[in-house]
């Protein structure tokens, strides 16, 4: 019965054509009884509204954009992004939205994206995976367009935009406290890039754990990484001469790079250096030992980002919404069990 019109549905439900239109477009000012009658007729008849007409009536395209300020090679080299995309696409499919994907790896890419986004007929809203200082311009320019926007990852100026993120400070702290509970005292860290909020926050968690347990901070035990395998490898090469008892790597990918550097020096995990990662990617269980790590719910992060963006589209962008998901420590075998006389916290 796809030939049915709004007038046909209205006649069968005993309501006006405009009431049927408002029900189809989820307009709030409809009585429950009228809504039930319209939906019952739609279910019985199998009526499918014309997509183009629906877009014109609601002034919505049911398309959201995802802007990733990365090159394709960097994007697909990091296991974080496939899981984030899995959550985003899952939510879009469940909520009947289409996803438009934009990679902004250069100034030219950005200009092309910004030439399309202000056309409100194209996109209803935009997700930006950010949290890096170099991405501030992207977020700011999207704010200027006044299109609904959600940033995935804490932005540097959170008061200006809605965002979802994992509590990276808490995650870094719980990782280091686990090492402290096992008796390790000389604990190093391979940070993420300190031009990113994730890198800064995870390092702050490390520093908080040391301070709260009265352990001295040694700058020689902290080396900046970049969330890549080579970055972890190079950072661990610099840490090994400092003789850490344990190391917290701010990503699992960097932890795997760190393991390569240790093997080259005939060092073993956890016998020579205990190791904790961050992310809980599948690779953490494929090494000779299983990596203790901090699980961040990346798929859920993608789902919640879409749900928040659709809420902004439907209900307005003010006030800004901030949603923080909690990470969880996953204990495996890479820390061993080191007992010292100081192991009473």
Give 266-278 pLDDT, tens digit per residue.
999 999 999 999 9
The answer to whether residue 43 scores a pLDDT higher than 60 is yes
Q: What is the pLDDT of residue 153?
A: 92
Long-range Cβ pairs for the range 257-260 (8 Å, 24+): 257/228, 257/229, 257/230, 257/231, 257/232, 257/233, 258/190, 258/232, 258/233, 259/287, 260/229, 260/233
Would you say how long the chain is, in residues? 345
265, 271 contact by CB (below 8 A): no
The answer to whether residue 1 scores a pLDDT higher than 50 is no
The answer to whether residue 215 scores a pLDDT higher than 90 is yes
Q: Using CA atoms, how far apart are residues 201 and 208, in angstroms rounded to an integer?
A: 10
The residue ranking higher by pLDDT, 191 or 333, is: 191
The answer to whether residue 329 scores a pLDDT higher than 80 is yes
User: Averaged over 181-197, what is the pLDDT?
Assistant: 95
CA distances from 214 to 19, 207, 281, 298 (A): 66, 11, 32, 33
Convert the pLDDT of each residue in 78-106 to its tens digit. Answer: 788 889 999 999 999 998 899 988 877 66
Q: Using CA atoms, how far apart are residues 204 and 185, in angstroms rounded to an integer?
A: 17
Q: Using CA atoms, how far apart are residues 53 and 55, in angstroms rounded to an integer?
A: 5
Arithmetic mean of pLDDT over the chain: 84
Could you tell me the domains of the chain? 6-52 (1.10.260.40), 63-165+298-325 (3.40.50.2300), 168-295 (3.40.50.2300)
> Percent of the chain having pLDDT more than 70?
80
Confidence of residue 300 (pLDDT cuts 50, 70, 90): very high
User: Averaged over 110-117, what is the pLDDT?
Assistant: 68
The residue ranking higher by pLDDT, 172 or 60, is: 172
Q: What is the pLDDT of residue 74?
A: 65
């Amino acid at each position: 019965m796809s030939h049915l019109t709004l007038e046909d549905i209205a006649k069968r439900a005993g309501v006006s054509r405009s009431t049927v239109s408002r029900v189809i477009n989820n307009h709030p000012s409809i009585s429950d009884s009228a809504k039930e009658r319209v939906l019952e007729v739609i279910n019985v008849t199998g009526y499918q509204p014309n997509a183009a007409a629906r877009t014109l009536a609601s002034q919505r395209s049911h398309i959201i954009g995802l802007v990733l300020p990365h090159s394709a090679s960097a994007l697909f080299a990091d296991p974080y992004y496939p899981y984030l995309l899995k959550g985003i696409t899952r939510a879009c499919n469940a909520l009947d939205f289409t996803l438009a994907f934009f990679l902004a790896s250069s100034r030219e890419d950005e200009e092309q994206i910004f030439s399309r986004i202000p056309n409100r007929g194209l996109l209803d809203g935009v997700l930006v995976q950010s949290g890096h200082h170099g991405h501030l311009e992207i977020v700011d320019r999207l704010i200027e367009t006044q299109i609904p926007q959600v940033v995935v990852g804490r932005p540097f100026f959170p008061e200006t935009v809605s965002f979802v993120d994992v509590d990276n400070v808490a995650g870094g702290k719980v990782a280091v406290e686990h090492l402290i509970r096992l008796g390790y005292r000389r604990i190093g860290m391979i940070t993420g890039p300190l031009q990113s909020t994730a890198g800064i926050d995870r390092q702050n968690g490390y520093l908080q754990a040391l301070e709260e347990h009265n352990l001295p901070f040694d700058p020689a035990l902290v080396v900046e990484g970049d969330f890549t395998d080579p970055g972890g490898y190079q950072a661990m090469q610099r840490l090994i001469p400092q003789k850490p008892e344990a190391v917290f790597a701010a990503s699992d990918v960097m932890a795997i790079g760190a393991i390569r550097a240790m093997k080259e020096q005939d060092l073993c995990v956890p016998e020579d250096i205990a190791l904790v990662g961050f992310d809980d990617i599948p690779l953490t269980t494929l090494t000779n030992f299983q990596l203790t790590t901090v699980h961040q719910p990346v798929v859920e992060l993608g789902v919640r980002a879409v749900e928040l963006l659709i809420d902004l589209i439907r209900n307005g962008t003010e006030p800004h919404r901030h949603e923080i998901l909690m990470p969880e420590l996953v204990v495996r075998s890479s820390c061993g069990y080191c007992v010292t006389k100081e192991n009473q916290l």
